Structure 1
Amino acid sequence: MAKLVFHSHLLLLIIVFLSLHPSSQLQQHTQSQTLLKIQRLLNYPSALTSFSHRSNIRDFCKIEPTPSLTLSCYEGNITQLHIIGNNGFPPLPRDFSADYFFATLVGLPSLKVLSLVSLGLWGPMPASIGHLSSLEILNVSTNYLSGTVPLQLSYLRNLQTLILDHNKFTGQVPGWLSSLPVLAVLSLKNNMLNGSLPYSLASLQTLRVLCLSSNFLSGEVPDLRNLTNLQVLDLEDNYFGPHFPSMPSKLVTLVLRKNKFRLGIQTALGSCYQLQKLDISLNGFVGPFLSSWLSLPSIKYLDIAGNKLTGLLYKNMTCNSELAFVNLSSNLLSGDLPTCLKKDSNSRVVLYSGNCLVNEDQKQHPSYLCHNEALAV
């Protein structure tokens, strides 16, 4: 009886092994064929020359990484694929199909990291992107992808990084982005997005980096104070305003350059002790320039140029010793440039023309001009 049970268990194990092994081989063969198909669909780019004369997954997994190609495997399955083309790569031929290309990628079911940069991809990003359910990082920057950001990206529940920079995406920043439970990096720079930001963004508490520069976005920025993990906020070159946005206190980089902000700056900015870069230039901010910005504990880069900030500067004001770049140009500042900002004190870059300072080495306005404009403001 015991021998019969033993043989039954052994037979069961053999059946399970035989049933799994061909499936594993088939999956590996499918992945190899998928890679070769990707090479063909991308019009045989130079980044993929190492794909030639390879036919099985083991050969592909042995490819040494280069600046233009990284392919990583785990237990015979492809988990990372980075393909980086040349800057300025033209659009792929007219017979290229984004639908077919992204559907082909489904043949890599274990893919966690996918970077397809500067490869000439064009057309709308298709719904099939939602089938890459293991994706944690997606970067399709510097292509010619168009249309709206597809809803099917919301199916990628493991997505931590989404980079769609330098494409031709249109429409609004989608509200469903807040449904991605672990999204930490969202970058949609240099597209043609418009409209206001969804207030649901304020609930993305996992977010660490939010870059939306060089679009056509407008309106008020949602209250972001609850985004306690946010370290980088870049809204440059849009139409946001007029109120200064409410910010979390752990910001490292804040860029609001070239928008439509017109009112005062929140004094809470002075409590951002981790802030290294502050750029609020080319807006219409009014009110006092706070000398504390020069001495924030971590500040290295400060640009307030092209606003209507007022205030009296003194020689004995203090500066952070790590401050490497300061631009105070084209405001309504008067008084004397602080000694800590003078060129002979260190190697930092300091610009301050277009104010009413007593310093004569950079072009200044007469003091009455700043006084009169300050009263008008």
Structure 2
Amino acid sequence: MSISLSTANITSDLDFPSYVGSLSLRGCNITEFPKFIRNGRNLFSIDLSNNKIKGQVPDWLWRLPELSFVNLSNNSLSGFNGSLNVPPESQISSVDLSLNAFQGPLFIPSSKYLNYFLGSKNNFTGEIPLSICGLSSLQILDLSNNNLNGSIPRCLETLVMSSLSYLNLRNNRLSGILPEIFQNAKSLMSLDVSQNRLKGKMPASLVGCSALQVLNVGSNTFNDMFPFHLNSLQKLQVLVLRSNKFRGKLHNADGVWFGFPQLKIIDVSYNGFFGTLPSLYFLNWTAMSSKSDDNMEPEYMQSPSRNYYFSLVLISKGVSMEMERILTIYTAIDFSGNQLQGPIPDSVGLLKELRILNMSNNAFTGHIPSSLANLTNLESLDLSQNKISGEIPPALGTLSSLEVINVSHNQLVGSIPQGTQFQRQNCSSYEGNPGLNGPSLKDVCRDIKVPTPPQPELMETKEEEEEESFSWVAAGLGFAPGVVFGLVMGYIMVSYKHEWFMKFFGRSKQRTTRNH
């Protein structure tokens, strides 16, 4: 029997039938852990998510004999009250502790049936416990957004070789290298170790992750060349190398891009990549060139609670944000913050499914490719901080899907396109291009004046006004010294009379005193 009282107001002394198997108290404004659950001898599923529960998780919870699914996410729980010891006979297979206030060492129930453990967005500290490597059934492990430190345990190789499909260690304080533990990781679909303190080179063993769809190592200090050795990963859809120390060129010696046929999101921004991009650079980017029928997010991306999806932090439309279910809707290229030069390849116009294109903060030259007009799904275009010259192609005005445009600080000239999406941008989107002009720009940027030749009548009037102004100035200059001279002489005379008066008055006063 199942009971769902979600969004209802529940009291802690509720009379709870012991025969209930599934209980959902999601979003009921509960502030204390319900003690009546202790009587649920047949409970196999408990959902207490989205409440206001504070304090400790009671130790008796993990001893409920049939308990399999536990969702305590999105509360204010802070500890475990001695509940760190889970009975060996435990049936627990799924635990969601995310979005709480847990502190101290990481707690993971040592159940041999555990498939899903979600502990993200807490304040767990210390190292990743080695006991985690003995969880032979674990498929999803999300420890992101905590304060875990130390190195990534090499014993995780046991998990990635057996059952682990999803590993998220994002935004912690993990250090050291990313170990060579992926030789036979044929079930691993997503690996996210971004926003840590990892260094060294990309593991060569990643080529063994034949099912890998998401690889995110952004915001670390990896020091390596572009990982072309991973081009054998035929299912890779997301590759993020952002904010590291990667260097070199973004293409092989022959200038051809190959491999990664399913790539939908690539972010290599803020590294040390340099060189030019060949004219046919985007020729083989098939997943961004045509709409795929297979764009449903894999089932493994969802936890049994059905409210957890794979997410990725992206710079979208100039804003850093965490996006969920990106594999179903997003295609993005971010090459910003490198040392790329030469023209932007015309072949970029082949990427008809592209939504975000960021080439800013490089040294690109040449013109803006007119082929960009083919990108009818493009929502954000950033070409700022380059050396691009020429006019903005008028055909870009037909891109009705564009929401954010930034071409500032280049060498552009002429008018901006007439499309409303160009005219509703902020003035900052066009600044730093002295050659941009025209009525359309005047409407957007009131402070940028359109140069117009002066009319003859206006010139004559202006000359007359200047002559008249000069006459007044000359008169003023002639009059001013006279005024100053008069004032000085007046001051001298007044001072002299005052001195004479005081002397005369003083003598008269002395005579009067003597007579008396």
TM-score, normalised to structure 1, is 0.74
Structure 2 residue corresponding to 1:262, chosen from 266, 274, 278: 274
For 2:221 and 2:386, how far apart are their aligned partners in 1?
A: 26
Q: CA deviation at 1:229?
A: 0.4
Structure 2 residue corresponding to 1:216, chosen from 215, 221, 225: 221
Query: Unpaired segments of 5 or more residues in structure 1?
Result: 1-45, 368-377
Paired position in structure 1 for 2:78: none
Deviations 1:144-172 (A, max 9, x none): 11111001211111000000011111011
Considering only CA atoms, is the larger Rg found in Structure 1 or Structure 2? 2
**Residues 343, 364 of structure 2: 8 Å contact kept:** yes
Q: Secondary structure at the match of 1:271?
A: coil
The residue type paired with residue 268 of structure 2 is L
Relative to structure 1, is the Cα distance of residues 281 and 110 closer, same or farther in structure 2, using a 3 angstrom cutoff? same
Q: Secondary structure at the match of 2:92?
A: strand
Q: CA RMSD in A?
A: 2.9
Structure 2 residue corresponding to 1:55, chosen from 23, 38, 46: 38
**Residues 130, 153 of structure 1: 8 Å contact kept:** yes
Q: CA deviation at 1:186?
A: 0.2
**Residues 273, 298 of structure 1: 8 Å contact kept:** no
Structure 2 residue corresponding to 1:271, chosen from 270, 281, 284: 284
For 2:39 and 2:348, how far apart are their aligned partners in 1?
A: 59
Paired position in structure 2 for 1:30: none
For 2:44 and 2:370, how far apart are their aligned partners in 1?
A: 63
Q: CA deviation at 1:321?
A: 1.2
Query: Unpaired segments of 5 or more residues in structure 2?
Result: 1-28, 54-66, 71-89, 252-256, 289-330, 417-429, 436-516
Paired position in structure 1 for 2:248: 242
Relative to structure 1, is the Cα distance of residues 287 and 110 closer, same or farther in structure 2, using a 3 angstrom cutoff? same
Structure 2 residue corresponding to 1:64, chosen from 26, 43, 47: 47
Relative to structure 1, is the Cα distance of residues 230 and 65 closer, same or farther in structure 2, using a 3 angstrom cutoff? farther
The residue type paired with residue 355 of structure 1 is N
**Residues 315, 336 of structure 1: 8 Å contact kept:** no
**Residues 261, 285 of structure 2: 8 Å contact kept:** yes
Paired position in structure 1 for 2:391: 336
Is residue 96 of structure 2 the alignment partner of residue 82 of structure 1? yes
The residue type paired with residue 238 of structure 1 is N
**Residues 67, 84 of structure 1: 8 Å contact kept:** no
For 1:302 and 1:344, how far apart are their aligned partners in 2?
A: 14
Is residue 199 of structure 2 the alignment partner of residue 199 of structure 1? no
Q: Secondary structure at the match of 1:286?
A: strand
Deviations 1:172-204 (A, max 9, x none): 111112332210100011111011112222332
Q: Secondary structure at the match of 1:134?
A: coil
Q: Secondary structure at the match of 2:375?
A: coil
The residue type paired with residue 298 of structure 1 is E
For 2:195 and 2:137, how far apart are their aligned partners in 1?
A: 27
Structure 2 residue corresponding to 1:179, chosen from 184, 187, 203: 184
Q: Secondary structure at the match of 1:153?
A: helix
Paired position in structure 2 for 1:35: none
For 2:32 and 2:68, how far apart are their aligned partners in 1?
A: 13
The residue type paired with residue 280 of structure 1 is F
Deviations 1:6-30 (A, max 9, x none): xxxxxxxxxxxxxxxxxxxxxxxxx
Equivalent runs, 1:264-303 vs 2, <5 Å: 264-265=276-277, 267-275=280-288, 276-303=331-358
Equivalent runs, 1:6-25 vs 2, <5 Å: none
Relative to structure 1, is the Cα distance of residues 229 and 346 closer, same or farther in structure 2, using a 3 angstrom cutoff? closer
Q: Secondary structure at the match of 2:239?
A: strand
Is residue 238 of structure 2 the alignment partner of residue 232 of structure 1? yes
Deviations 1:65-101 (A, max 9, x none): 524899728xx93221111124xx4x72xxx444xx3
**Residues 343, 349 of structure 1: 8 Å contact kept:** no
Q: CA deviation at 1:60?
A: 4.8
Paired position in structure 2 for 1:12: none
Percentage of matched positions with identical amino acids: 27
**Residues 314, 336 of structure 1: 8 Å contact kept:** no
For 1:317 and 1:144, how far apart are their aligned partners in 2?
A: 43
TM-score, normalised to structure 2, is 0.55
Q: CA deviation at 1:221?
A: 2.6
Is residue 133 of structure 2 the alignment partner of residue 130 of structure 1? yes
Matched residues, number: 309
Paired position in structure 2 for 1:363: 431
Name which of structure 1's ranges 130-139 and 267-276 shifts more when overlaid on structure 2.
Answer: 267-276
